[in-house]
Structure 1
């Protein structure tokens, strides 16, 4: 059987309130009853002591004093009786003296100077009464006692009236709490229903759903966490879709790139085996096969390098490297490649410029970026510059080439990504892995890499490496 959460909340609210009201009502009623009865007994004790005090001060006016007290106490619905030391009634106001018959143990206490107070007495009277029995002491001698009684009907009427007010107050409070509990419960259930519907959308693959969120309570915080989760899921799915598309394109490109050199290698080997290649063409054919083999090896190595870096299998052996030695060496090594494109390559570094890095991996970074600049620059200039920015080693690689489209600048670091169709013929990093490897290696050094480019105005790669700790 399904029990809706709304009804659970309302039932819990009302149940808690009913229990709380019942406990408070019982406690308050008991406290009020005790207070009323104690007030009545205190009143009787006060009148009894005043009466005995007046009788002691003026023994000759006993009748007058008893009459005055009788009239006054009759208006308060209080009767009193005087007893001598033998428990005989010597005076009684109002009702007969037989209203309360004293027991032997009560007289024993009175003779010992103890007062007797009884809040509710039903056994020895035709109506319930509150009575007090006080010892009457004259000149240090016990001479009798005074008994004061008052019907409890008046006290019970006050208590009953108080209980009625408490009952009406409880019913009014329960009605108000029911309305308030219903409203609050419906409000919270509505918020939870929004979360449930949103979760259903997410389960069906819609990660764009959002729910209103606040920091006022836990449900609001849960909504904020839900929105953050869906945002991350949406970003992740977008990235997964993007990577999947690039993966498909990469596989297609690699298949195409591998098919051509493999076809060339196979054709060369078949020609040599069948004697179809003349002796004078044999060296050129072998050189072509060797070139295509190196191309395939480069593809495999780039993939292996990327996976090793990504999985943390690369160990850096850092040393302090002077940039005024390294940068000219890179420029000299790539100068023949730059000349093929009609480019000039220049390197300059401050004499105090030192970078704390792994020599082989830093060389790999610089060659990869510089080759990229050479590939997309024709009849231009590639410049390598090294200097210190406080304790940070900075390397700039700038070219005057074709630049990068604005929408491609942030995506050139992505694996498998190649900006522009013309880059498919790039023999250096043509598989979309070169710059991804560069970025991973720079991060592995604890450094940063950024790029500034303007279409048809050149590109600047900026590398920053932290100092040795």
Structure 2
């Protein structure tokens, strides 16, 4: 069954139950009201008879004014109202000319009347007008004098009159019920169609997404604060996430292709050099005095390949958290000074000045070797991209962390270059792929992973042709996270 019909049946079911309950309550209320009005009317008639049909003929003696009662019955003949007068012995004294004497009042009702209580009943009784047995409404009213029961005035009318009034009410109610049902069908169809139309819009959007179209405006088509609108908003957020994921997958695929090309290029160059020298040696085309230099060149290229492979393995271990950091507390100023000294020759070759601004006691909590590796790679990277400039290393003890920055006055980077510098084999200046200091393009990728493992942070601020600043931190022992490393397939806490 289609959803629109399910929705219609649901709405109709609710409306039908509501109408049925209201109708039953209305009929019961109307019926009770009709009966109460009938008894109230009979009570009024008995009160009139009490005041006008009893004539006092002596001390504590009364006689019944039959003419007045007969006149009253004639007036009320359209309502089929009749009267019976009972004496204190429960014997009917009016009417006296009836073909059949009315039966006496039931004992239970008579007991109530003797107590002074009026009684109203519905029962099968003989109609004094024609003697037939009918369902009647009867109202008994006792008349007392000096605390003594004199008469009981009984007014009654056939139930048929009341049933006729109730039947008319039920007939009108049935017509209203049918009209309400027709209106309910129309309203339920409109509401169900509106709800289904919104669901179909979501379904259409799902097909668009399934076919690769992530640009369909979904949430803008839905107004309101109901669950379907919330579902549309969640679906729109999911589509946006899928779109972003697809863009990231495409970017990663592009980086993967670039990585394969760069890795092949980085490895092909030394292999080509080694192969050429080996062929020269095999065919004895290299002069004797150049063989030593050729062997040295092969050794350098072989070492370059080994470094390239080791850096890739190192990067993967760091990225997958397969190394254990042996953190200790030490004076980082000594290591910074050593790094400046080690790179002095490379800085001089580029006509760069390296300046160190650090306190004599620089407390660092980190893996000592990895700390040196991080700073060395960043300073070396600054020298690589700076000619005739200045590299400034600034360090200080911060709040629960060690803060270090490396600034240069080199070529700088664009925003896109800054966003990609943590990728493997990415180089901001492709023309320097084969320089002595930028041969692999893995240095900054390893730096980023190592700082993340330490629980620190690293930021880059760079402007093209103006220079670059790397700012990074190492948390102290109190705030440094415990590392979960994987060693030989087992998790180890360091």
Q: TM-score under structure 1 normalisation?
A: 0.84
Give unmatched runs, 5+ long, in structure 1.
none
Q: How much has 1:374 moved relative to structure 2?
A: 1.4
Give the corresponding residue for 1:9.
7
Show CA shifts across 1:226-253 (max 9, x none). Answer: 1111111111111111111121121112
* Residues 161/343 of structure 1: CA separation in 2 closer, same or farther (3 Å cut): same
Give the corresponding residue for 1:63.
64
CA distance in 2, matches of 1:304, 1:113: 109
Give the corresponding residue for 1:460.
469
Alignment check: 8 A CA contact 1:133 1:147 kept: yes
Show CA shifts across 1:361-399 (max 9, x none). Answer: 222221221221111112222111112444443211111
Residues 395-406 of structure 1 aligned to structure 2 (within 5 Å)? 395-406=404-415
Match of 1:299 among 288, 299, 308: 308
Q: How much has 1:444 moved relative to structure 2?
A: 2.4
Q: Does 1:341 align with 2:342?
A: no
Match of 2:81 among 73, 78, 81: 78
CA distance in 1, matches of 2:75, 2:435: 122
Show CA shifts across 1:99-155 (max 9, x none). Answer: x9547xx53334544676433647864654312346677777777744321233443
Give the corresponding residue for 1:314.
323
Q: How much has 1:359 moved relative to structure 2?
A: 2.1
Give the corresponding residue for 1:30.
28
Residues 118-197 of structure 1 aligned to structure 2 (within 5 Å)? 118-119=121-122, 121=124, 125=132, 128-133=135-140, 145-197=152-204
Match of 1:260 among 258, 269, 274: 269
* Residues 113/240 of structure 1: CA separation in 2 closer, same or farther (3 Å cut): closer
Alignment check: 8 A CA contact 2:54 2:65 kept: no
CA distance in 2, matches of 1:96, 1:330: 136
Show CA shifts across 1:335-359 (max 9, x none). Answer: 2222232222222213454333322
Q: How much has 1:203 moved relative to structure 2?
A: 1.1
Q: Is the partner of 1:243 in helix, strand or coil?
A: helix
CA distance in 2, matches of 1:390, 1:161: 90
Q: TM-score under structure 2 normalisation?
A: 0.81
Q: Is the partner of 1:373 in helix, strand or coil?
A: helix
CA distance in 1, matches of 2:274, 2:253: 31
CA distance in 1, matches of 2:439, 2:126: 113
Alignment check: 8 A CA contact 2:55 2:62 kept: no
More helix per residue: 1
Q: Which has the higher mean CA deviation after the structures are superposed, 18-27 or 243-252?
A: 18-27
Match of 1:438 among 442, 447, 458: 447
Q: Which has the higher mean CA deviation after the structures are superposed, 17-26 or 266-275?
A: 266-275
State the aligned residue count: 463
Match of 1:206 among 198, 201, 213: 213
Indicate the RMSD between aligned Cα atoms, in angstroms: 3.6
CA distance in 1, matches of 2:448, 2:155: 103
Give unmatched runs, 5+ long, in structure 2.
480-494
* Residues 383/24 of structure 1: CA separation in 2 closer, same or farther (3 Å cut): same
CA distance in 1, matches of 2:421, 2:338: 26
Q: Which has the higher mean CA deviation after the structures are superposed, 69-78 or 178-187?
A: 69-78
Show CA shifts across 1:68-95 (max 9, x none). Answer: 79739955753220134665420139x9
